[in-house]
Chain A
Amino acid sequence: MTAAERPVKAEKIKAPLITITKRDSLPPYRRILIRAAAIVAALLLCSVITLIVTKSNPIEIYKTMFSGAFGNGIRIIRTVYEISVLLIIAVAITPAFKMKFWNTGAEGQVLIGGLTTAMVMLYLGGKVPDGLLIVVMAAAAIGAGVIWGVIPAFFKAYWKTNETLFTLMMNYVAIQLVECFLKIADKTGSNVVGPTMLKNGWFPKFFGLDYMLDVVIIAVLTVLVYIYLRYSKHGYEISVVGESENTAKYIGINVKKVIIRTMALSGALCGIAGLLIVGGASHSISAETAGGRGFTAIMVSWLAKFNPLLMVFSSLLIVFLERGAGEVATVFSLNKSFSDILTGIILFFIIGCEFFINYKLHFRRQAKEERV
């Protein structure tokens, strides 16, 4: 018998139980549907866990969450402010992220911006008019942010150092500098320099509302960054460098220059975030001024697919969860960890559903049918 007569051998083809393939693209309504399903599933799981662990009514818990974030006027203002601060930091890191420069140093860049703002407030406050003081604060904060952003960019551009580690370590340098300033400025050994010492350079109220000047500035900056990324030549260069460095070189883009320029921008925006927090809201500085937002912002930026306008929604979601969960812990006198569990579950589902948007699962039986 020759081989040609023999049937093609099909045995021993053992398909794995689940095969994962990349989806080409989904129509928008299916994407929204998947995300909605994820949120519903997350809420259901949270309810079940709440029932089992605390025996409280899950509906009540969700109600409390909502009122924690939007319960009254003061809470709404506070929530809007928190959203905007998270938003500006997310917007700040986005140009770098679009360039595939993984800037994990927003925390430090914000902190150093806040620190320089506080230093100007402390040492120049009362010596120059308040208007001029705010200008100097802004210049100092932006300058410091730029320096903090450009240092790792420079090393990356010229010596290909790992930007993730580099920017991460710069955070600790910033924290130590703040600690150092606290020791010098406040001899009592307090771990915060507050409004009693930083009496000048406060941002004016906006239509009689606290923080609102910050919110307006952030809204304007967000739109500007959106336009910059989408319609400017710089934005186009950032996309090309991020997608393919080879293509960038092929068309003659100076990759080093783009990396440094973009990180200068990213750092400057983080510096502004520091300025807005210290000068416009807290009027205090401590190692906790950035409060982990530099890292949360990474998630905000990713969830919005690096679109600054969509980041309004992703930062709203995160801030709502954080503030709502905190309220739940207080009202139901539960451990703070419980609200963290709820936040964790919801975020897990929201981020996890991206997998189902990008990939498709085939089960073995299905695969066999396809082959037949």
Chain B
Amino acid sequence: MNTQENASAALQLRHITKTFGAITANEDVDLELRRGEVLAILGENGSGKTTLMNMISGIYRPDSGEICINGKEVSINSPKDAFAHGIGMVHQHFKLVDVFTATENIILGIKEKGGFSLKRSSARVAEICERYGFDLDPNKKIYEMSVSEKQTVEIVKVLYRGADILILDEPTAVLTPQETDKLFNVIRRMRQDGKSIIIITHKLHEVMEISDRVAVLRKGRHIDTVNTADVSESELTDMMVGQKISLNIERTLSEKTPDRLIVSHLTMYSKEGVKVVDDVSFTARAGEILGIAGVSGSGQRELLELIAGLRTPESGDIIYNDPSDGKAVDLRKKTPMQIRDLGVRLSFVPEDRLGMGLVGNMDIIDNMMLRTYRNGRPLFLDRQPSKVLADDIIKSLEVVTPGPTTPVRRLSGGNVQKVLVGREISSAPSVLMAAYPVRGLDINSSYTIYNLLNEQKKNGAAVIYVGEDLDVLLELCDRIMVICGGAVSGILDGRTAEKQEVGLLMTKRKGAEQ
């Protein structure tokens, strides 16, 4: 690296490595942010973007490597240190006090020269807003604000503290297209003013629109940094997803694949009024694994919870074809209890294992009972069948545990997942939904889970697999449905689909300009 480059760099990372236990989040990452540029950071889920940014903003410390600001090596031990070096991060989840005004939130926690004066601070906030074109009333209370206004407060907050380097973590995820345009205008003004900006986003068209350069991360490593003007979207996708890696996951072809679950025009709004599931239609067939690919937070969770009866759709239908009598049952607006009473064998391995699928403080036996505790004699529990099931799962899935009476929160991630998946498949489901079932699991446990899903497929279950690793999706699934921003952007054949094709669909928002 020559010295000339160093001089123009606002921020430089050299050989940064960070591990969490056995997992390497970042490995030997070099990154350079030039003064007065917008650098986009692109990468799939789990590629290490957030960890890297957290090291710059003082939340984590790198295990090795160094961080230079304006050519000088620094040590950033806390967010306070980061601010002292002029680094400010705007997180995806806002950290604001609801009952305070914008100004009060902005000055919270800083000691100002000349004492505390809300009036003076307010004037300064207004001045910053004017300078960069923010649309913000300094005296408005947070709870009266829209999501976009709250984000503005967060950005002004870091500017107020004198940040020269701004890190924006997926700032457009919560915004409407109009609000995004406004934000981009502000970013351009900040760039003109000499600020250096890092923006994390999954949306390729936004990368093309706003950034000067793009740094691509993949599996914790820095692949390359290129000038945005010199690359196309498909070249970026190639860099992001990489070459296909063969995993040798077994995939059989079922002879008969009758339609089991027919979802049509399903739409749901979040509490904030955002369309999180947008006119989704698909069919899950028996004896088939349907993969769902997409950037996390694209509506996967909501979609599965809608099918499981945990949420109510705004509109659309969920039709289940009963394999025993061939009758069609409408599952829409049914509670999980009603669904089970209809004789529908629907199993669901949720993303949040200990917070939803299991009870962490209960032992394995009592967790086995969650689905079946209503069976048996009236009023009192019958723990015996659950005991048998627990022993059976511990043995057949090789769960590492001191015994069936150990609380599940004491087990390691892989073993927790085995307990959960084991329970869910014990009822011989006709539909099995699994959300990120191998997240955080080691290779061996992951293959155990793949085998279990394949076994269910062979037994004639319609399996729905929500995953993030494209290589796995491409080898495991018969068909892959790609969703983006809550809408289906394509359904591909798992045997013929190309990785790049999936990657591109993941960032292709319905109705957005390409």
A residues apposed to B, CB below 8 Å = 3-4, 8-9, 12, 24, 231-236, 239-240, 243-244, 246-247, 249-252, 254
Q: A232 and B15: CB pair below 8 A?
A: no
Q: B355 and A3: CB pair below 8 A?
A: no
Q: B374 and A233: CB pair below 8 A?
A: yes
Q: A246 and B355: CB pair below 8 A?
A: yes
Measured CA separation A246–B358 after assembly (Å): 10
Q: B359 and A239: CB pair below 8 A?
A: yes
Q: In the complex, which residues of chain A have a beta carbon less than 8 angstroms from the beta carbon of B75?
A: 9, 12
Contact flags B422-433 to A (C-beta < 8 A → 1, else 0): 000000000000
Q: In the complex, which residues of chain A have a beta carbon less than 8 angstroms from the beta carbon of B23?
A: none
The distance from the CB of A350 to the nearest CB of chain B, in whole angstroms, is 24
Q: In the complex, which residues of chain B have a beta carbon less than 8 angstroms from the beta carbon of A251?
A: 336, 370-371
The distance from the CB of B81 to the nearest CB of chain A, in whole angstroms, is 10
The distance from the CB of B374 to the nearest CB of chain A, in whole angstroms, is 7
Knowing A4-B15, A12-B75, A240-B359, say if A247 contacts B380 (CB, 8 Å).
no
Knowing A240-B370, A243-B360, A244-B359, say if A252 contacts B380 (CB, 8 Å).
no
Q: B362 and A239: CB pair below 8 A?
A: yes
Decide if B495 is an interface residue (CB 8 Å cutoff): no
Q: B358 and A252: CB pair below 8 A?
A: no
Which DSSP category, helix, strand, loop or mixed, fits chain B's interface?
Answer: loop
Q: In the complex, which residues of chain B have a beta carbon less than 8 angstroms from the beta carbon of A9?
A: 75
Which residue, of B14, B337, B361, B381, has the highest number of chain A Cβ atoms within 10 A?
B381
The distance from the CB of A305 to the nearest CB of chain B, in whole angstroms, is 12
Knowing A8-B64, A12-B75, A236-B373, say if A3 contacts B15 (CB, 8 Å).
yes
3 smallest A-B Cβ distances: which pairs? A252-B336, A252-B337, A246-B356
Partner of A232, one of B337, B371, B379: B379
Q: In the complex, which residues of chain B have a beta carbon less than 8 angstroms from the beta carbon of A12?
A: 75, 77
Q: In the complex, which residues of chain A have a beta carbon less than 8 angstroms from the beta carbon of B337?
A: 252, 254
Measured CA separation A235–B355 after assembly (Å): 20
Closest to A12 in B: B75
Closest to A25 in B: B410
Partner of B379, one of A233, A249, A250, A254: A233
Decide if B369 is an interface residue (CB 8 Å cutoff): yes
Decide if B138 is an interface residue (CB 8 Å cutoff): no
Measured CA separation A4–B15 after assembly (Å): 8
Measured CA separation A84–B362 after assembly (Å): 30
Decide if B357 is an interface residue (CB 8 Å cutoff): yes
Decide if B335 is an interface residue (CB 8 Å cutoff): yes
The distance from the CB of A225 to the nearest CB of chain B, in whole angstroms, is 14
Q: A247 and B65: CB pair below 8 A?
A: no
Closest to B30 in A: A3
Measured CA separation A346–B43 after assembly (Å): 58
In B338-361, the 8 Å CB interface with A consists of 339-340, 348, 350, 352, 355-361
Q: In the complex, which residues of chain B have a beta carbon less than 8 angstroms from the beta carbon of A249?
A: 310, 336
Q: B356 and A232: CB pair below 8 A?
A: no
Q: B65 and A3: CB pair below 8 A?
A: yes
Q: In the complex, which residues of chain A have a beta carbon less than 8 angstroms from the beta carbon of B335?
A: 252
* Count of residues in B whose CB is under 8 Å from the partner chain: 37
The distance from the CB of B337 to the nearest CB of chain A, in whole angstroms, is 4
* New A-B pairs, 17, CB < 8 Å, besides A9-B75, A252-B340: A3-B14, A3-B15, A3-B66, A4-B15, A8-B63, A231-B381, A232-B380, A233-B381, A236-B366, A240-B362, A244-B356, A244-B359, A246-B352, A246-B356, A249-B310, A250-B336, A254-B337
Knowing A4-B15, A12-B77, say if A250 contacts B369 (CB, 8 Å).
no
Knowing A233-B379, A233-B381, say if A250 contacts B357 (CB, 8 Å).
yes
Closest to B28 in A: A4
Q: B14 and A231: CB pair below 8 A?
A: no
Which residue, of A9, A239, A244, has the highest number of chain B Cβ atoms within 10 A?
A244
Measured CA separation A337–B65 after assembly (Å): 63
Measured CA separation A3–B13 after assembly (Å): 11
The distance from the CB of B376 to the nearest CB of chain A, in whole angstroms, is 9
Closest to B369 in A: A236
Measured CA separation A246–B348 after assembly (Å): 14
Measured CA separation A239–B308 after assembly (Å): 22
Q: Please, could you name 5 A-B residue pairs with CB atoms under 8 Å apart, sorted by A?
A: A233-B381, A235-B381, A239-B362, A240-B359, A254-B337
The distance from the CB of B305 to the nearest CB of chain A, in whole angstroms, is 9
In B357-411, the 8 Å CB interface with A consists of 357-362, 366, 369-371, 373-374, 379-381, 410
Measured CA separation A234–B381 after assembly (Å): 9
Partner of B380, one of A8, A231, A254: A231
Q: B310 and A233: CB pair below 8 A?
A: no
Which residue, of A231, A243, A249, A251, has the highest number of chain B Cβ atoms within 10 A?
A251
Measured CA separation A236–B362 after assembly (Å): 10
The distance from the CB of B445 to the nearest CB of chain A, in whole angstroms, is 22
Closest to B311 in A: A249
The distance from the CB of B82 to the nearest CB of chain A, in whole angstroms, is 14
The distance from the CB of A71 to the nearest CB of chain B, in whole angstroms, is 43
Measured CA separation A249–B305 after assembly (Å): 11
Q: A243 and B14: CB pair below 8 A?
A: no
Closest to B370 in A: A251
Partner of B359, one of A233, A247, A254: A247
Q: B410 and A247: CB pair below 8 A?
A: no
Which residue, of B366, B371, B373, has the highest number of chain A Cβ atoms within 10 A?
B373
The distance from the CB of A73 to the nearest CB of chain B, in whole angstroms, is 41
The distance from the CB of B393 to the nearest CB of chain A, in whole angstroms, is 17
Measured CA separation A4–B410 after assembly (Å): 38
Closest to B338 in A: A252
The distance from the CB of B336 to the nearest CB of chain A, in whole angstroms, is 3
Q: A250 and B359: CB pair below 8 A?
A: no
Closest to A251 in B: B370
Q: A247 and B77: CB pair below 8 A?
A: no
Knowing A239-B359, A239-B362, A240-B359, say if A247 contacts B370 (CB, 8 Å).
yes
Measured CA separation A249–B64 after assembly (Å): 44
Measured CA separation A206–B308 after assembly (Å): 56
Measured CA separation A239–B371 after assembly (Å): 14
Closest to B371 in A: A251
Which residue, of B66, B358, B379, B380, has the highest number of chain A Cβ atoms within 10 A?
B380
The distance from the CB of B400 to the nearest CB of chain A, in whole angstroms, is 16
Measured CA separation A235–B410 after assembly (Å): 23
Measured CA separation A248–B374 after assembly (Å): 13
Q: In the complex, which residues of chain B have a beta carbon less than 8 angstroms from the beta carbon of A252?
A: 309, 335-337, 339-340
Closest to B14 in A: A3
Q: In the complex, which residues of chain B have a beta carbon less than 8 angstroms from the beta carbon of A235?
A: 381
Measured CA separation A291–B348 after assembly (Å): 50
Q: B373 and A243: CB pair below 8 A?
A: no
Q: In the complex, which residues of chain B have a beta carbon less than 8 angstroms from the beta carbon of A243?
A: 359-362
Q: In the complex, which residues of chain A have a beta carbon less than 8 angstroms from the beta carbon of B15?
A: 3-4
The distance from the CB of A371 to the nearest CB of chain B, in whole angstroms, is 14
Closest to A246 in B: B356
Which residue, of B77, B336, B360, B370, has the highest number of chain A Cβ atoms within 10 A?
B370
The distance from the CB of B417 to the nearest CB of chain A, in whole angstroms, is 15
The distance from the CB of A65 to the nearest CB of chain B, in whole angstroms, is 38
Measured CA separation A3–B65 after assembly (Å): 7
Measured CA separation A75–B64 after assembly (Å): 71
Q: In the complex, which residues of chain A have a beta carbon less than 8 angstroms from the beta carbon of B360?
A: 243-244
Measured CA separation A3–B30 after assembly (Å): 12
Contact flags B158-199 to A (C-beta < 8 A → 1, else 0): 000000000000000000000000000000000000000000
Measured CA separation A107–B340 after assembly (Å): 42
In B44-81, the 8 Å CB interface with A consists of 63-66, 75, 77
Closest to B358 in A: A247
Q: In the complex, which residues of chain B have a beta carbon less than 8 angstroms from the beta carbon of A244?
A: 355-356, 359-360
